[in-house]
A and B are shown apart, each in its own frame.
Chain A
Amino acid sequence: MSAVATSPVRICDVTGRRIHRSAEQLVKANAVVAVVALLVGIIAALLLVLTRWQAVHLLPPTWYYRLLGVHGMNMLIFFIIFFEMAVLWFAATVLLNARPAAPRLGWVNFGVMLLGSLMVEWAQWSGRADVLYTSYPPLKAHPVFYLGVILFAVGALLVTCQFFATLVIARRERTYEGSLPLVVYGAMTAAIIAVITLVHGAMTYIPTFLWSIGLIAMPDPQVYRMLWWALGHSAQQINVAAMVAIWYMLGALTVGAVVLNEKVSRSAFVLYILFISMASAHHLLVDPGFGPAWKIVNTSYFMYMAVLASMVHGFTVPAGMELGMRLRGYTDGLFGWLRRAPWGDPGFSSLVLSVVVFGFVGGITGVTLGTEQINIIAHNTMRIPGHFHSTVVSGTALAFMGATYYLLPLVFRRRVAFWKLARIQPYLFSGGMLLLVLGMTFAGSFGVPRRHWDISFSQAPFDVPFNPAVDIFLAVMGIGGIIAFLGGLSFILIAVKSVFFGEPLPEITRGVEMHGVPRGLTHPPVHAPDADERNAALHDPARGIAGATPGTLVLVAVFLLAFVVYYFANWKLLSFLWKIG
């Protein structure tokens, strides 16, 4: 590192960027707390999956429902949003070469978020908030729970405001030219969705807090459900935008991916800003308080604009990787670029597995479940957690893990510990998650309910028989959950060892393999000297419909085929409801 240790700015010897130490410390603090929340969340996850696996059925009912709330808050709120705060600080300051807006206020906001999350943890673990993640009235938690969520949301909202203020500083001080870089544009999209989400969070939790201390009557349950889902589901759309931004970043770092068309990718992000939050209405498709027009407009017409955006990114990210690899000289056949990719780089493998599982499993099931008619056969079954574990966990969390393998050397300036384990961790985690998701999805297809402690209904006065195949699917889910737990735990071990006890990394030498440093940093992917000629040849109209990225085109065709088959199968299943004769 070439800068003096006490200077407020250092120059990164890999990227050459000016890094403000105050922002860097905020990135580190948020990332560390995110990993701690992940640890709490995955411990709860293991206990939950061993309870839903009916043959094991580990926890008693009270602890099952308690840990379901703990798992939801830690994974979907604390882990994800603390990490996103790190992404916002990183994107606004490091990627834009800008000084952070009011870094001391950043520490106050971080403290408020931390205090809020500790209050929620205390309320949940002590049994004062056994109201699940959704806390629907008339279930009532201790006021500390609601106050904790409010404090956390206020802190996060203020950090988001600081992100916007840093963008203004960067523009005024001209730390970048032209439009925002695409990765920062994605982070900006996440920040806007965060504001939408947190405003609805305030509308949800302030009344419930006032109710919990006896100042007002119980909020209307239907209004609460609508406002809560504008928080609960939109929070996951912050993840989607941040995840896609990370996809673009990891693609460039690991294989020299190019942006095929800035206008198209930015349009897709704008579609997210305008339409993705409405997907919250999925959760209300069987609620009696809304008419079909509201449901269909929100979940179909408008939300499909956001689906279109995801499909655009789902094409441009791999196609950008393919074109980048071809420009580097990997031009053999349809998939030579993929075969020669750095599969041992955990940043790259995380990226590819995140794209594939998010798109093929999460995307296809999400659109299918969001169709009002089909939703009636899937609502509140295990198909729903099957869907969102493939998006939020296999997609977002895995992308965040991949980014961490690059942040450790770049920001923490440490070698990645347990390097051999790190190289297989993405495969272990995503393989386990895929089994878990398939088990949940198929068990749900046979009617197994979500959020249910005991599907054998052992003391109920009536029988609820399930197809015996359900036991196999729940076993698959359980085995997958254990594998995914080991993958998640490996990631935490690697991150904690690297950050707190890791070997300092004084300098990254280019062109030399370094233990514990991803290949994208030691051997930055550089396009061939004749890249312009190669690019022109690849875009020659004579190549026909295959264009410059034929391999991606084939993958997209496979994706669309899978989509059609799954969608058709669900309509077919739905038609059985009216089968006569």
Chain B
Amino acid sequence: MPTPDPVDPDAEPVPLGQRLFDNVFLLLALGMGVMLVVFTGWGLWEILTLPQGTLP
């Protein structure tokens, strides 16, 4: 197993956008959340609130 290199104290800070893009689990949560709210949740709500059809 490679030994981790020591962290360079003089290294430039990583920009916020890059840290967000590098956060795999944040992206996973966001991707799942957007889909579950906008497609699945909203879609289920649309179906469940559909008025009962009346027979002719």
Q: Determine if chain A interacts with chain B.
A: yes
**A273 near B30: Cβ-Cβ < 8 Å:** yes
Q: Does A230 contact B (CB under 8 A)?
A: yes
**A125 within 8 A of partner (CB):** no
Query: Which of A179, A223, A281 lies in contact with B39, CB distance below 8 A?
Result: A281
Within 8 A of A (CB), among B2-56: 2, 4-5, 17-18, 21-22, 24-25, 27-28, 30-32, 34-35, 38-40, 42-44, 46-47, 50
Q: Which of B4, B21, B40 contacts A270 (CB 8 A)?
A: B21
- Which of B5, B44, B46 is within 8 Å of A291, CB to CB? B46
Residues B2 and A273 in contact, CB atoms below 8 Å apart: no
Q: How far is the CA of A180 from the CA of B2 in the complex (A)?
A: 18
Is the Cβ of A173 less than 8 Å from the Cβ of B4? yes
**CA A297 to CA B43, docked complex, whole Å:** 11
Interface residues on A, range: 35 or more
A:258-285 near B, CB below 8 Å: 263, 266-267, 270, 273-275, 277-278, 280-281
A294 touches B (CB below 8 Å)? yes
In the assembly, what is the distance between CA of A180 and CA of B23, in Å? 10
Which of A194-202, A400-408, A425-433 participates in binding chain B? Answer: A194-202
Report the Cα distance A99→B32, complex, angstroms.
Answer: 28
Q: Which of A199, A223, A266, A281 contacts B32 (CB 8 A)?
A: A199
> B24–A280 contact, CB under 8 A?
no
Contact across chains for B47 and A290 when beta carbons are under 8 A apart: yes
B31 touches A193 (CB 8 A): yes
Using A195-B28, A270-B27 as known contacts, say yes or no to A226 and B40 having CB atoms under 8 A apart. yes
Q: A278 to B4, Cβ gap below 8 A?
A: no
Residues of B within 8 A of A297 (CB): 38, 42
Given contacts A164-B24, A280-B39, contact A196 B2 (CB under 8 A): no
Q: A residues 498-537 with Cβ under 8 Å of B?
A: none
- How far in angstroms is the closest Cβ of chain A from B14? 8
* B2 contacts A174, C-beta separation under 8 Å: yes
Question: Contacts of B47 on A, CB cut-off 8 Å?
Answer: 220, 222-223, 226, 289-290
A294 in complex: contacting residue of B1, B5, B30, B46, CB < 8 Å? B46
Any chain B CB within 8 A of the CB of A188?
yes
Q: Is A122 close to B, CB under 8 A?
A: no
Tell whether, in the assembled complex, residue B42 and residue A174 are in contact, meaning their CB atoms are under 8 Å apart: no
Measured between beta carbons, the chain A residues less than 8 angstroms from B32 are 192, 195-196, 199
Assembled-state Cα–Cα distance A188/B26 (Å): 12
| Contact partners of B42 in chain A: CB under 8 A | 294, 297
Pick the contact of A302: B1, B18, B38, B46 (CB < 8 A). Answer: B38
Look across to chain A and name the residue whose beta carbon is closest to the beta carbon of B35: A277
Q: How far is the CA of A230 from the CA of B37 in the complex (A)?
A: 13
* Contact status of A230 and B22, CB under 8 A, knowing A289-B50, A294-B46: no
Residue A150 interfacial (CB < 8 Å): no
The 8 Å CB contact of B40, one of A172, A195, A230, is A230
Chain B residues in contact with chain A, CB under 8 A? 1-2, 4-5, 17-18, 21-22, 24-25, 27-28, 30-32, 34-35, 38-40, 42-44, 46-47, 50
Question: What are 19 sample pairs from A and B whose C-beta atoms fall under 8 A apart?
Answer: A164-B25, A167-B24, A179-B21, A192-B27, A192-B28, A195-B28, A196-B31, A196-B32, A200-B40, A226-B40, A263-B17, A270-B21, A270-B27, A273-B27, A277-B35, A278-B35, A280-B39, A290-B46, A302-B34
Closest 5 CB pairs of A and B: A273-B31, A277-B35, A226-B43, A289-B47, A192-B28
